[in-house]
């Protein structure tokens, strides 16, 4: 079974572990195509990390309109399809993107079975040509993947009738994201956020909550357009001595950063055009046995389950109370950390996710 996957997300080195796990399964020959870098809007350039590359081919392709999620495409992808003659073309993009349309069309021309991946969890109809791209994908895909039940429901409502699997795009490597020994006697709770510094992630809510919890220190790691506003608010609240603000780190450094924390917070806000689609940093923290607090935005409660604390999104008082509760109760932190680790080992490892993709691919060929 020769699989050709195209994915801008796989410039992230930690995500590549799924490819190693998939390539190790029976009768799999895997080729993965990625851009040499991805220009993430409002964040910056994310360069390819070659971290987990054993057992499969990782190739780079030039990309046009880099940074345009719906309009980027790979002009030489069909040439790669023609050369490799895959049985399956997996396009790790939404059904309504230009990259998806062109990659699926190339796969169909060369008689490959094709699939795509949808995150979209806000129901909206797209103007031409994006609605036409979506219709083409729905007609020609042999399988579809969705990140959540919400995303799957929207696809069905838009007319997709084929086989569909609800599955995270990537899992977590529990050896890379492993727990650290913790000293719960520390008087100061170290709370962290790792991710994009953009308004919808709600980071200023976290800054405000920390200001109300004097026994808490805050460690923020990330890049984005909200950074100046965060710095201004930290100064206005007079909590600069309790807050560290660091730039984004390579993906394979994230486990070490998580192990510095006592608690990880994802304070996402739902907006008119966005709500949390998965919250991958949550399962990465849980794998490290770091207790998590998440807002109630969209997918977060389903990802966390009973392994963390959920508060109403935008409720700064509730978030501050949750921080103080964990600061005052080391036993609760230990319990939530262990629950998180167990939940990841049961549902979210790279190996488990890869096996589910493998079974879906085999069903496509049958």
Mean pLDDT by 10 residues, the chain (366 residues): 98 96 98 97 94 97 97 98 98 98 98 97 93 98 96 96 97 95 70 97 98 96 97 97 96 95 97 92 98 96 96 98 96 97 96 97 96
Whether residue 317 contacts residue 253, with contact meaning beta carbons closer than 8 Å, is answered with: no
Which SS3 state, helix, strand or coil, does residue 217 take? strand
What's the pLDDT score for residue 182? 63
Q: Which domains, and CATH codes, for the chain?
A: 2-170+350-365 (3.40.50.2000), 189-347 (3.40.50.2000)
What's the pLDDT score for residue 6? 98
Whether residue 66 contacts residue 92, with contact meaning beta carbons closer than 8 Å, is answered with: no
Residues 6+ apart with CB under 8 A from 36: 11, 47, 48, 60, 62
What's the pLDDT score for residue 110? 97
What's the pLDDT score for residue 188? 86
Stated pTM of the model? 0.90
- 59 pairs with which residues across the strands? 33
């Amino acid at each position: 079974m020769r699989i050709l996957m195209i994915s801008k997300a796989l410039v992230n080195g930690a995500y590549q572990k799924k490819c190693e796990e998939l390539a190790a399964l029976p009768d799999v020959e895997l080729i993965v195509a990625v851009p040499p870098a991805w220009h993430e809007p409002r964040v910056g350039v994310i360069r390819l990390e070659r971290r987990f590359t054993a057992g499969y081919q990782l190739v780079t392709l030039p990309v046009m309109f880099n940074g345009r999620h719906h309009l980027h495409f790979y002009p030489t992808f069909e040439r790669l399809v023609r050369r490799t003659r895959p049985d399956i073309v997996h396009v790790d993009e939404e059904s309504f993107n230009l990259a998806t349309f062109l990659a699926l069309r190339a796969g169909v021309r060369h008689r490959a079975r094709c699939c795509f991946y949808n995150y979209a969890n806000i129901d909206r109809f797209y103007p031409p040509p994006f609605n036409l791209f979506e219709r083409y994908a729905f007609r020609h895909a042999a399988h579809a993947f969705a990140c959540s039940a919400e995303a799957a429901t929207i696809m069905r409502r838009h007319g997709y009738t084929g086989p569909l699997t609800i599955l995270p795009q990537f899992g977590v490597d529990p050896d890379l994201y492993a727990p650290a020994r913790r000293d719960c006697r520390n008087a100061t709770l170290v709370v962290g956020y790792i991710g994009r510094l953009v308004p919808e992630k709600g980071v200023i809510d976290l800054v405000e909550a920390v200001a109300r919890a004097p026994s808490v220190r805050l460690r923020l790691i990330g890049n984005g357009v909200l950074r100046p506003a965060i710095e201004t608010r930290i100064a206005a609240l007079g909590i600069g001595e309790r807050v560290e603000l660091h730039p984004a780190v390579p993906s394979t450094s994230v486990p070490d950063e998580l192990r510095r924390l006592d608690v990880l917070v994802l304070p996402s806000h739902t907006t008119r055009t966005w709500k949390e689609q998965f919250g991958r940093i949550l399962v990465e923290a849980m794998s490290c046995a770091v207790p998590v607090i998440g807002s109630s935005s969209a997918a977060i409660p389903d990802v966390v389950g009973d392994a963390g604390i959920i508060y109403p999104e935008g409720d700064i008082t509730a978030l501050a109370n949750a921080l103080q509760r964990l600061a005052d109760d080391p036993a609760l932190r230990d319990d939530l950390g262990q629950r998180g680790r167990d939940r990841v080992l049961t549902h979210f490892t790279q190996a488990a996710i890869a096996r589910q993709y493998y079974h879906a691919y085999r069903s496509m060929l049958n």
